[in-house]
Structure 1
Amino acid sequence: MFNRMTRCVLALALALGLGTSAQAADTILTATHNGQTRTFDRAELEALGTASIETTTIWTEGVQTFEGVPLAVLMQELGAQDGKILATAINDYTIEIPLSDATENGPILALKMNGEQMSVRDKGPVWVVYPYDADADYRTEVIYSRSIWQLDRIEVVE
């Protein structure tokens, strides 16, 4: 099936770490701050601590329950204190979120909706969800534009 040269090249690539690693395949969010990049799989994000939001959205029908990592918790984990977040989706759509939005009882990086992990087809695996019903200030076009789904990259710019 493989000739000797092909087997040698494959063995060398794996030895050097050039092959596809399970960790890279499981990464759902990459976060960069102060020149440092961290990758997170679902379990690593959930280990930071999760919160739930029950709210309606303009994209769904009825009250939904979202569960995920509070944006404030992730920013604390990254050591980000000031500036803005450049949030980028799988399709390279990027939106700017002021770091001041990352407050207690503010938006979460939703990983589940109604107890189910969200697939790419369902706005996942990560969707920035604000508690829209909690405050009229969260029901504005500006906030809706920050509610990026299929999020896969965050860069904090101070």
Structure 2
Amino acid sequence: MTGFLRFFIPFAVALSTSVATAQQLDQPQDTVILSVSGEVSVTNADGAAQFDLAMLDALDQHVTDVETPWHDGAQQFSGPRIIDLLNAVGATGSELRFVAINDYAANMPWADTESFDVILATRQNGNTMSVRDKGPLFVIYPFNQNPELRNEVYYGRSVWQVKEIQVLP
């Protein structure tokens, strides 16, 4: 039993330290552009995880070149993959609801975030996006890499001017 305790106690301390560290989310230092609420365990504001642009930029970035129905020619979008954002806030659920600045909302099955490299674009062609240009955040599916996504179902899930993600059970 002594050998077990010698192994278990340091392991338990290390595990509890890493869990405590993983539960922390910095406070936004600039304008909040995204709130993630619902089934999340890592928060920084009244049960939600709020992000400014710098916080989103601190997540792993993904770049995709894609043609969309809303732009002329191929565009380059970059931002964190939605699954990485969800992991950062300890999200668990089966569906996501994306809410835009004008309160338009669309639901996305959680499975889309695992099956496709869907990003929450913060930039188009290297530039931040203004509200006028469908920003500051835009859900972008990899339409060019997955032609089966080129239909009204996935276009409808490609919400622009995103202000909130609600993680649903």
TM-score range, shorter chain: 0.7 to 0.9
TM-score calculated relative to the size of structure 1: 0.81
Q: Percent identity?
A: 37
Q: 1:81·1:99 contact (CA, 8 Å) conserved in 2? A: no
Which of 58, 73, 89 is the aligned partner of 1:78? 89
2:26 pairs with 1:26: no
Structure 2: how far apart are the matches of 1:95 and 1:137?
19
Q: Which has the higher strand share?
A: 1
Cα deviation code 1:10-34 (max 9, x no counterpart) = xxxxxxxxxxxxx586111000133
Q: Which runs of 5+ in 2 are unaligned?
A: 1-27, 41-46
TM-score calculated relative to the size of structure 2: 0.76
Q: How does 1:1-158 map to 2 (within 5 A)?
A: 23=28, 26-34=31-39, 36-103=47-114, 105-158=116-169
Structure 2: how far apart are the matches of 1:30 and 1:24?
14
Q: Which runs of 4+ in 1 moved over 4 A?
A: none
1:73 is aligned with what amino acid? D
Q: 2:92·2:167 contact (CA, 8 Å) conserved in 1? A: no
Structure 1: how far apart are the matches of 2:30 and 2:89?
22
Q: 1:128·1:146 contact (CA, 8 Å) conserved in 2? A: yes
1:88 is aligned with what amino acid? V
The secondary structure found in structure 2 opposite 1:149 is coil
Give the drift of 1:59: 0.4
Structure 2: how far apart are the matches of 1:104 and 1:114?
25
The secondary structure found in structure 1 opposite 2:122 is strand
Question: Alpha carbon RMSD of aligned pairs, Å?
Answer: 1.6
Give the drift of 1:103: 2.2
Give the drift of 1:132: 0.5
